[in-house]
Amino acid sequence: MPFGIGLIAGGLTVTTSSFVGLIADGEAFASVRVLETGLGLASIVLGLSSYRLQRRDVRVNRAAAMTMFVVAWASFNLVAIGSFLLSGELGAPLDAVFEAVSASTTTGFTTVEDPQQLSFALRFLRGAMPWVTGLGVLMVSIGVLPAAVAGAELLPERPLRGKEKIATTSLVALRNVLSLYALLTAVLVIAFFAAGMDPFDALVYALSTASTGGMANHADSIGHFDSVAVDWVASLGMAAAGGNLLVVWWAIKGRFDSVLRSTELRLYLVLLVVGFVSIRFGGGGLSASEAAVAITSAMSTTGLYSANWADGSEFVVAVVLVAAGIGAMSGSVGSGFRQARVARVALEVRRSLQNLLTPTRTSVLLIDGKAVDETSLKRTYGYLWMHVFTLAGASVVLYTPELDLVASLSFALALVSNFGVLVDGGEITQHVTLSRWTEAIASFAMLLGRLSIYPVLITVAGFFRFAGRLRPHRTIGARV
C-alpha cells in the first residue's frame, strides 16, 4: 500500500508539472513534456494497481509504520528522479538523485547554479515536490502514523473531543490537514503576487514557503526581488509553516486556553523574538525585514534568504545556525531537532540541578500542565544522542579541504536539519558543487533529517535482515 501511494503522489506531481511545461515552455520542450506526462500517468496506474493488491486488514506495528513511511517516500522519489532524468536539464544521473532528494526532503540545496535558466516545468516540479511531501509529513505526524515522524510523545495532548478533533479517522485527518495547508499556500500566493512577484514566481515561492522547502527560482533566493514587502510576506509565511498545526486547529475551534497553555508555542515565539533582536542588532547590518527573513527561515528550517547574513558578524552566523539546529515545532512541516525535545531536555537539566541541591527531592516534569511520561523522556534522550552522532559523523565524512571548519559544520547541520544553506567564507548559498561520493552521503544525511533517524535506521536494518535471509547458508557439518 505505501509503495502504491508514493507512486500515485509522484505521478500526480510529475503530470501536473508536465502540463505546466506544455503551457509555459512552448515547443522547445514539447517532446520531453509528452514523455514526462506518460511517466506520470503510468506511475498513477501502477500505483493504483499496487494499492488495490495490498491487504488492508493487516495490523501495523510501530516498526512497520516507520518502514511504510520510508517506502512511500522512496517510490515518490523514483518517479521524480525519472522526470529529472527525462528533462535532460541536469548534469549526471546522480545530480538528478540529489536534486530530487533535496526537494522531497524540503532541504533546498541544488546543483543548479542559476535555477532561472531551468524550464518552467522543472522549476514548478522543484517547488511542488516539497509541498507534496510536506503534506505527507503532516498527515503521518498528526493524523495517521504519529509514531513515524515526530513521535507521538512529542505532540501536545488534543483536548478536543469527537468530531472537533483534527483527526478522528484517516479521511478526516486528510481533509482537515489538507484544508489548513492549502489555505496557507493560497494566502501566500496572493500575498506574494500583491508584493510584486509574477504569478509563476508567486506560486512556486508560496509552495516552497508553506512546505519549508526553500527551493528558489533564483540564485539569490528571494533577495532577487529586493522588496521589503516580499521579505515580510516570506517571514510571516515561514513563521506560520514552522508552527504546530494542532495549535492552529485549537484556535480555529475557539480553545484559546489550550493555545495559551502550549509550552512549545511560547518557546517558539520567545526564540523568534530573541533571534530577531540578536540578528537585527548583532552587527551584521541587516534591516528589520532581512533579519525577520533570516530568523524565521532558520527556525522553520526553510532556507530562503533575502540578504547575506553571514557577512560581517560571526555572532549572527552562530544565532542563525543554532536556530536552524533547534528547528521547528512538532506537528509542523519544518525539520530540525524539534523544540518539544529542546524543552524536555532543558527541563531535565533543571531537574538534575535541583536534585544536586536537594538529593531527597522527587520531582516530575510538567509540560502544558501535565506530567511527562518517563519512557517518553528516555526516547527523547536516545534521539538526542543519535542526532549528535549523526551531525558529528556527517561533519567528518563530508569534510573537504575546500571548506573551513565553520563551512563543514554548517553544511552537515544544513543537511540534517534540512535547512539548505551553506555558509562558506562569509557567503551563503544554496548552490553546491559536490563530488559523486559527497552527493551520495549528503543525500542520505538529508533523508535522515527529513524522515527522522528512527524510521530510516529501522528500514535499513530491515533491508539487511531481508538480504541476510536470501543469502545461501552452509549447513553445519556439511562438506565444503
DSSP letters, 154-201, are: GSPP----GGGSS-SSHHHHHHHHHHHHHHHHHHHHHHHHHTT--HHH
Instruction: Report how far residue 179's alpha carbon sits from residue 196's, in angstroms, rounded to the nearest whole number.
Output: 26
Report if pTM > 0.85: yes
Residue 403 burial (10 A CB sphere; 0-12, 13-18, 19+):
middle
Per the structure block, which three cell numbers stand in for 252? 480555529
pLDDT number for residue 158: 57
pLDDT number for residue 148: 44
pLDDT number for residue 418: 93
Residue 44 lies in a domain: no
Enclosing domain of residue 419: 146-436
Instruction: Report how far residue 396's alpha carbon sits from residue 180's, in angstroms, rounded to the nearest whole number.
Output: 40
pLDDT number for residue 110: 94
Residues 6+ away with beta carbon under 8 Å from 203: 124, 127, 189
Instruction: Report how far residue 127's alpha carbon sits from residue 410's, in angstroms, rounded to the nearest whole number.
Output: 24
Phi (first) and psi of residue 203, to 5 degrees: -70, -50
Instruction: Report how far residue 284's alpha carbon sits from residue 310's, in angstroms, rounded to the nearest whole number.
Output: 8
The strand pairing partners of 371, in sequence order, are 366
User: How many structural domains does the chain have?
Assistant: 1
Residue 31 burial (10 A CB sphere; 0-12, 13-18, 19+):
exposed
Per the structure block, which three cell numbers stand in for 42? 503510468
22-31 confidence digits (pLDDT tens): 899 877 778 8
Instruction: Report how far residue 397's alpha carbon sits from residue 411's, in angstroms, rounded to the nearest whole number.
Output: 11
Q: Dihedral (C-alpha) 184, 190, 193, 195: value to the nearest 10 degrees? A: -80
Residues 6+ away with beta carbon under 8 Å from 62: 147
pLDDT number for residue 415: 94
Per the structure block, which three cell numbers stand in for 312? 560581517
Strand-pair category, 370-371 with 366-367 = antiparallel
Residue 69 lies in a domain: no
pLDDT number for residue 256: 82
Instruction: Report how far residue 94's alpha carbon sits from residue 87's, in angstroms, rounded to the nearest whole number.
Output: 14
**pLDDT means per 10 residues in the chain (480 residues)?**
86 94 83 91 91 61 71 91 91 89 94 92 95 87 55 60 69 84 96 96 96 94 96 96 87 81 89 96 92 96 94 90 92 87 87 83 77 81 87 86 81 93 90 88 89 74 67 51
Residue 16 lies in a domain: no
Instruction: Report how far residue 14's alpha carbon sits from residue 38's, in angstroms, rounded to the nearest whole number.
Output: 10
Instruction: Report how far residue 101's alpha carbon sits from residue 59's, in angstroms, rounded to the nearest whole number.
Output: 30
Residue 11 lies in a domain: no
Q: Are 450 and 106 in contact (CB under 8 A)?
A: yes
Tell me the residue length of the chain: 480
pLDDT number for residue 146: 52
Q: Are 109 and 414 in contact (CB under 8 A)?
A: yes
Instruction: Report how far residue 324's alpha carbon sits from residue 43's, in angstroms, rounded to the nearest whole number.
Output: 35
Residue 249 lies in a domain: yes
Helix (H) or strand (E) holding 367: strand 366-367
**What is the separation, in whole angstroms, between the first and last Cα of the chain?**
43
Instruction: Report how far residue 381's alpha carbon sits from residue 3's, in angstroms, rounded to the nearest whole number.
Output: 32
Residue 236 lies in a domain: yes
pLDDT number for residue 59: 60
Residue 177 lies in a domain: yes
295-315 confidence digits (pLDDT tens): 999 999 999 999 999 987 889
pLDDT number for residue 188: 97
Residue 209 lies in a domain: yes
Residue 256 burial (10 A CB sphere; 0-12, 13-18, 19+):
exposed
